[in-house]
Amino acid sequence: MKTTFDTADGKLTIVIDGDLTSTTAGPLRADFGKLLNEGAGAAAWRIVRLDVSTAKMIDSVGLNFVVTILKAVQANKGKLEVVYANPNVHRTLLFTRLDKHATLVDGGTKA
């Protein structure tokens, strides 16, 4: 997981490398826990951009991790953007209705 934080506009970018599944979500969750404890934590984030554009699969445990981020962001009245590229990942985000809570960005077509 790579993160960059732009203090000017309060935008945290989290880039996930590969699939977001039960076997990868554990370490990501730990890393995210550390982020929450750094500085002002989630209170400083106005927008969190979660980039899963290299993922070909997100399973239920992986999605729970996304929801964890979502809840942390919403608790501080921030917004979550999820960047995907794979159509199967997009379908997963839709049937779990994540689009009702976060902005889905097609990373395969964006500039």
Looking at 25, 52, 63, 80, which residue binds another protein (CB under 8 A)?
63
Report the 10 Å Cβ neighbour count for 52: 25
By CB under 8 A, the count of residues binding another protein is 21
| Among 35, 40, 49, residue whose Cα is nearest residue 79 | 49
Nearest distance from C-beta of residue 108 to another protein, angstroms: 14
Distance CA 34, CA 45 (A): 14
Which residue ranges make up the site for another protein (CB under 8 A)? 21-23, 56-57, 59-61, 63-64, 67, 70-71, 87-88, 92, 95-97, 100-101
